[in-house]
Amino acid sequence: MFNNNERDNKMDKTILVVEVTKYSFGKRYAIKKSADTLDKASEYLVSLKNLNDSTDISYELFNRFGQFEVEEIQKVANDNK
54, part of any domain: yes
Q: What is the pTM of this model?
A: 0.66
81, part of any domain: no
Q: Quick one: 17 exposed, middle or buried, by C-beta within 10 A (0-12, 13-18, 19+)?
A: buried
Number of domains the chain is built from: 1
70, part of any domain: no
74, part of any domain: no
CA distance 19 to 56: 10
CA distance 60 to 49: 9
Q: SS3 sequence, 10-31?
A: HHHHCEEEEEEEEECCEEEEEE
- Tens digit of each residue's pLDDT (9 = 90 or more) over 27-81: 999 999 999 988 899 899 999 999 999 999 999 998 877 766 655 544 444 555 5
Query: Given a cut of 60, is residue 25 above it in pLDDT?
Result: yes
